[in-house]
Structure 1
Amino acid sequence: MTNKATKVTFWEFFQSLGKTFMLPVALLSFSGIMLGIGSSLASQDVRELLPFLDNHVCIAIFTWMSKIGSFSFSFLPAMFAIAIPLGLAREDKGVAAFSGFVGYTVLSLSINFYLTIVGILPQTDPNILRANDIQSVLGIQSINTGILGAIFVGIIVYFLHERFRKIRLPDALAFFGGNRFVPIITMLTLGVVGLFVPIVWPFFAKAISGLGYVVNSAGAFGPFIFGTGERLLLPFGLHHILVALIRFTDAGGTMEVCNETVSGALTIFQAQLSCPTTTGFSESATRFLSQGKMPSFLGGLPGAALAMYVCAEPENRSKIKGLLISGVVACTVGGITEPLEFLFLFIAPVLYVIHALLTGIGFMVMSLLDVTIGNTDGNIIDFVVFGILHGTSTKWYWVPVIAAVWFVVYFFVFKFFILHFNIKTPGREVESKNDNNTNAQTTTSKSGYNTAQILEALGGADNIVSLDNCITRLRLSVKDINIVDDQKLKANKAIGVVRLNEHNLQVVIGPQVQLVKDELQQYLTQ
C-alpha cells in the first residue's frame, strides 16, 4: 500500500508540473504570432507584393511587433522558473512566484562565482564560452542550463515554499518569519546549489544531447514517435513534459542562429524568426511543431466529428450538432482538441489509439514533404501566419492537400468502427433523451454552464478539498470520490470525467473551463 501511495503521489506531482507549463507556453504561442506577423509583413518579399505596406509607419509597426514578440524567447527560462512555483503553490502564490525569480537569478550568480573562482571567467573568447556553454543569463555570464535548469529551480522553490511559508522564528527575528522567509531560504539554497551546477551539469547536458541524437538520427520516424507519444500522454496530463523536452532542450536539436547557439525545436524556430539574416526555417526544427498537427487538427478531427454526426440517430443529430461544431471550431481555430477527443476517448480507446497513430503519421508526412511551418498550435492561425505569409518556401500548399486526405481517412475509419462495434458516441446513447432533458436546465452564469448543478454532481462544497484547472479541465481533490456523479456531470455539458485515484479526478469542460472554475470557486468561497 505504501508503494502504491508513493506512485500515485509521484504521478499527481508530474501532472501538476505539466499544468504549470501552460502559462509561459500560452504567452509563447501569442508572442510567436506577434513575431511571425511582424517579421513576415516587414520582409522585402511581402512589401514588393503589397506596395502599400512599404512605408515608414507600417515598417515601424511591424518591427515593434517583432521586438515585443521576441520577449518570450529572450526570457523563457526565467518565465518557467517563475511559473512553476506559481502554478504548484496552493497558497501565497505571489510569494512563490517572487521566490522563483530570486532562485533563478541567484543560481546564475552562484554559477558565475564558481566559474570566476576556477579562472574560466571573466572571458570574452567565443570559443571558450561555447566550450563551457556559457551565455548571458539575465545579464549574468553563466552556464546556460535553459528550460531544464529553470524547471529544477521551480521545483526546488516549490518545496521550499511548502516547507517554510509558515515557519515561526524567534521573536528577535520574527520579521523574517512566515512567507517572508521563503525568498530568504530560496536565496541561500539556490546559492549553494549553484556551486555544484558546473560540476554536474555536463552530465545532464550529455544525456539530453544523447536523447537529441537518438531523436534526430531516427529521421522522419522521430516526428512520428513524438506526435504519437504526445497524443497518448494527453489523457494523463503528462504530454506537456514531452513537449517541453522537445521544444526547449537539446532533444529538439541544436543550431547556431545569428551567431548564437540555441537549443530546442521551438527556440530554434523563434530565433530564426527574429534573426534578420535568416532566409528560411530549419525543417529539422519545424518537423516537431505546428505543421505536424495540421493534418489531424485541420482535417482529421473535423472528419471524425462528421462521422459521429452521421452515425448519430436521426432524431438526435440536431441535439449534438452544436456540441460537434463548437469542438471543431475549438480545434481548427484555437488548436484545442480535447472537446472532440474526449467524445470518444473513454467509450472507444481503440479509436483514440488510431487517432494518436494518425497524428504521428501526419508529423512524419509533413517532415518528408519538407514543410516548414512552426509555432505551437497547429491551427488555422499558425497556417496563415507562419505558412502563407512567409511564402511558398514553407511549402504551405501541402497542408490543405494532406488535411483533406486525413479528413477522408478519419471519416471512414470512425464511421466503420462506430457502426461495426456499435460505439455509443454522442447521439447514439440509450440515455440521450434523458440527458437532453437535463441539459435543458436554465443556465444564467457567464460561462454558459449550470455550475450549481456541477457542484452538486461533485458531491457539494463540503466534498471538495482543492480546485484548479488547466487549459480544458477542472482538476479536483475530493474527500469521497464515490459520491461524484459522472452521469450528472456529463448531463451538464461536461465532456468527460477522469478518475485518477480514490481522491483525485479531472472533469473535461473545454475552452470555457476557466470561467467554470471561477464560478465554482465563488460558490466554495460563499
Structure 2
Amino acid sequence: MMNYLQRLGRSLMLPVAVLPAAAVLLGVGAWIGQFSWGEDSVVSAFMIAAGDSIIGNMGMLFALGVALGLSKDKDGAAALSGLVAFLVITEVLSVESVAELSQIAVDDVNPAFGVITNQFIGILSGVVASIMYNRFSHVQLPAALAFFSGKRLVPIVTAAVMMALSAVFFYIWPYVYNGLVTFGMWISQLDFIGAGLYGFFNRLLIPTGLHHALNSVFWFDVAGINDIGNYWDGEGEVGITGRYQAGFFPIMMFGVPAAALAMYHTAHASKKKQIGSLMLAAGFAAFLTGVTEPIEFAFMFVAPLLFVVHAALTGLSLAIAAFFQWTAGFSFSAGLLDFFLGFPLEMANQPYMLLIQGVIFGVVYYVLFRFLIVKFNLMTPGREPEGEGLDISEEPTELEGSNKMAMMASTIYQALGGDDNVVSIDNCVTRLRLEVKDMGKVDQAKIKQTGVPGINVVSDHNIQVVVGTQVQFVADEMNKIRKN
C-alpha cells in the first residue's frame, strides 16, 4: 500500500510540472498589465487567458498524468483512458446532467456538482484508468472482435467502469465533497497555526513521498482551498490566499542553502572539495527553482534530528508568513523564478517581506545546523570516517564528458544487481524509485561512488536514489540498459 501511494505521489508530479508554463504566462501577462501602456492590452489578456487554460484544467491534467504514471509500461493508451474516464464522470455529473437526471431545476442542483471537474476527480479518474490498463491491455478478444483487443479495449472498459462509478457518485459525491470542504475549513479556521501545521507535516512526509497527497488538499481544488489556482487567478482574499505557499520561500531560497553551507563548513578538510561542489550546485538549484530534495536527502537519514528541526522551522516559517499576511505564490516550487513571476500578481501582499524573513531564517538554519552537527557529531556528508560516505574519486573518468548520464546509469544499474535483480525503474522530480528482488544484492557503496546526494531504502524491495533534477535522463538510460 505504501509503495502504491508513493507511486501515486510521484505520478502527481507530472501534471504539476506543467504549472511553470502557466506561471510564465500569467506572471508576464500580469506584469504587462501593471504598466499604463499595458492596461487593457491584448497581449496581456492573451497571455493570461493562455495561463488560465492550464490552471483551469488541472483536473483533466491530473487524470492524464496519474493514469500514465501508474500504468505498468507508461503507454499513451493509459493516458487516453484517463482522459476518457475524466470526461465520462464530469459530463454525466455536470450540473445540467444532474438536473435532467433528477428532474429538477438547474438552480436547485447541489453545489457539489458545480465543481465536479476538480483535481480529486482527476486523480480518481487516473487511478481507475491505470487499473483498467494494467488489467486489460493484453487481453485478446475473439476473432470477430479482435480489432478491440489489447490497448484498444482499455478506454472502452474504462468508460464502462466510470459510468458505474458515476452512478455511485451521483449519491455520495455531495457527502464526499462536503467532508473535504469541512476538513479544509477546519484547517483554515486555525489561521496561521493551521498553515504552520501544514508546513511541518509537508516536510516530515517527504521521505515517504506522501507530501504530494497532502499538498493536493491545500494547493488544489480538492477541499475547496485551491491556494495555487486562486492565487494565480487573482481570486480570494489578499493576505489570505497564498498562505499555504508563502512561507516556503524563506525555506527553499535561504534556509536549505544555508543548511548546505553549514554541512560544507563542518565537513572534514579532506572531503570539503567534493562536498563543496555538491552543496554549491544543490544550493543554487534550491535558491533558483525551489527544488530542495538533493540537500534534504543528504541529511534526513544520516541525521534525523536535523530533519525534524528542518520540518519544525518550515512550519514556523509558514506560520509567521501567515500571521503577518505576507503572501506570494508559486506554480512549481518556492524558488526565485516563481517569486519573480508571482510578485506583480493581485494576490501578492508584501512579498518582499518574505525575502527579509528568508535572510533571518538563513542565519537561523546555519547556526542551528552547524551547532547540532558539531555538538552531536552528526554524520552529515563529509563527516564520515575515512573510506566511508560519498566518494567519487575512484571512477573520475567514467562519469565525465557528454556521456555522464549514461555512465552513471550503467554504474547504478549494475550496483542494483543488474537484470537478475531489478524489477522496475521509475523516477520523480529528483529521485530514482527502484524496485529490486533482493535488497541484499544492492551495492550501496558503489551507487554512492557516482556522486549521488543520498540513498533511501524504503522497504525490503524498494530503494530510492537521489540524483537531482537530471534524474529523468538517468532513468531513461537505465531503462535502455534493461530493455537491451
Residue range with higher mean Cα deviation, 331-340 or 447-456: 447-456
Residue range with higher mean Cα deviation, 350-359 or 293-302: 293-302
Alpha-carbon distance in structure 2 between the residues aligned to 1:401 and 1:73: 30
> Partner amino acid for 2:274?
K
TM-aligned CA distance change 1:55 to 1:224, over 3 Å: closer
Alpha-carbon distance in structure 1 between the residues aligned to 2:64 and 2:444: 35
Displacement of 1:334 in angstroms is: 1.4
Alpha-carbon distance in structure 1 between the residues aligned to 2:448 and 2:168: 51
Q: Secondary structure at the match of 1:437?
A: coil
> Partner amino acid for 1:284?
I
Q: Secondary structure at the match of 2:460?
A: coil
User: TM-score under structure 1 normalisation?
Assistant: 0.86
* 1:24 counterpart = 2:15: yes
Look up the match of 2:228: 266
Q: Which of the residues 292, 299, 313 maps onto 1:337? A: 292
- Where does the alignment leave 5 or more consecutive residues of structure 2 unmatched? none
Show CA shifts across 1:272-309 (max 9, x none): 1xxxxx6x8533220001x1101111221121112112
Show CA shifts across 1:179-225 (max 9, x none): 21111111111112212212111110121111012101111001111
- Where does the alignment leave 5 or more consecutive residues of structure 1 unmatched? 1-9, 136-142, 254-263, 273-277
Look up the match of 1:139: none
> Partner amino acid for 1:397?
Y
Displacement of 1:61 in angstroms is: 3.2
Alpha-carbon distance in structure 1 between the residues aligned to 2:204 and 2:348: 32
Look up the match of 1:481: 439
Q: Which of the residues 416, 419, 422 maps onto 1:458? A: 416
Alpha-carbon distance in structure 2 between the residues aligned to 1:326 and 1:507: 17
Q: Could you tell me whether the CA contact under 8 Å between 1:114 and 1:195 is conserved in 2?
A: no
Look up the match of 1:164: 136
TM-aligned CA distance change 1:73 to 1:315, over 3 Å: same
Look up the match of 1:469: 427
Q: Which of the residues 476, 480, 483 maps onto 1:518? A: 476
* 1:235 counterpart = 2:226: no
Alpha-carbon distance in structure 1 between the residues aligned to 2:310 and 2:93: 45
Q: Secondary structure at the match of 1:133?
A: helix
Alpha-carbon distance in structure 1 between the residues aligned to 2:38 and 2:260: 43
- Structure 1 runs (4+) greater than 4 angstroms displaced: 53-56, 390-393
Displacement of 1:432 in angstroms is: 5.6
Q: Could you tell me whether the CA contact under 8 Å between 2:392 and 2:448 is conserved in 1?
A: no
Look up the match of 2:121: 149
Displacement of 1:406 in angstroms is: 0.6
Look up the match of 1:368: 323
Displacement of 1:391 in angstroms is: 8.6
Q: Secondary structure at the match of 2:385?
A: coil
TM-aligned CA distance change 1:312 to 1:132, over 3 Å: closer
User: Once superposed, what is the RMSD of the aligned Cα atoms?
Assistant: 2.2
**What pairs with 1:27-38 in structure 2 (closer than 5 Å)?**
27-38=18-29
Show CA shifts across 1:29-74 (max 9, x none): 331232122112212xxx14xxxx5599xx4333322121111122
Displacement of 1:460 in angstroms is: 1.8
Displacement of 1:134 in angstroms is: 4.0
Q: Could you tell me whether the CA contact under 8 Å between 2:247 and 2:354 is conserved in 1?
A: no
Look up the match of 1:71: 53
Alpha-carbon distance in structure 2 between the residues aligned to 1:451 and 1:55: 51
Alpha-carbon distance in structure 2 between the residues aligned to 1:392 and 1:473: 33
Displacement of 1:448 in angstroms is: 7.9
Displacement of 1:339 in angstroms is: 1.0
Displacement of 1:90 in angstroms is: 1.6
Look up the match of 1:4: none
Look up the match of 2:351: 396
Q: Greater relative contact order (Cα 8 A, min sep 6): structure 1 or 2?
A: 2
**What pairs with 1:85-234 in structure 2 (closer than 5 Å)?**
85-91=67-73, 93-112=75-94, 113-120=97-104, 123=106, 125=107, 128=108, 131-135=110-114, 144=116, 146-234=118-206
**What pairs with 1:416-495 in structure 2 (closer than 5 Å)?**
416-431=371-386, 435-438=391-394, 440-443=396-399, 444=401, 445-447=403-405, 450-495=408-453
Q: Could you tell me whether the CA contact under 8 Å between 2:430 and 2:470 is conserved in 1?
A: yes
Q: Could you tell me whether the CA contact under 8 Å between 1:439 and 1:493 is conserved in 2?
A: no
* 1:406 counterpart = 2:361: yes
Displacement of 1:171 in angstroms is: 2.1
Alpha-carbon distance in structure 1 between the residues aligned to 2:56 and 2:2: 32
TM-aligned CA distance change 1:491 to 1:233, over 3 Å: same
Alpha-carbon distance in structure 2 between the residues aligned to 1:452 and 1:446: 10
User: TM-score under structure 2 normalisation?
Assistant: 0.93
Alpha-carbon distance in structure 1 between the residues aligned to 2:283 and 2:398: 25
Alpha-carbon distance in structure 2 between the residues aligned to 1:400 and 1:432: 41
Q: Could you tell me whether the CA contact under 8 Å between 1:208 and 1:249 is conserved in 2?
A: no
Q: Could you tell me whether the CA contact under 8 Å between 1:449 and 1:493 is conserved in 2?
A: no
Displacement of 1:329 in angstroms is: 1.1
TM-aligned CA distance change 1:393 to 1:186, over 3 Å: closer
Displacement of 1:455 in angstroms is: 1.7
Displacement of 1:422 in angstroms is: 1.2
TM-aligned CA distance change 1:430 to 1:439, over 3 Å: farther
Residue range with higher mean Cα deviation, 110-119 or 175-184: 110-119
* 1:500 counterpart = 2:458: yes
Identity %: 32
Alpha-carbon distance in structure 2 between the residues aligned to 1:366 and 1:439: 46
Q: Which of the residues 216, 232, 239 maps onto 1:244? A: 216
Alpha-carbon distance in structure 1 between the residues aligned to 2:393 and 2:198: 42
Q: Could you tell me whether the CA contact under 8 Å between 2:302 and 2:379 is conserved in 1?
A: yes
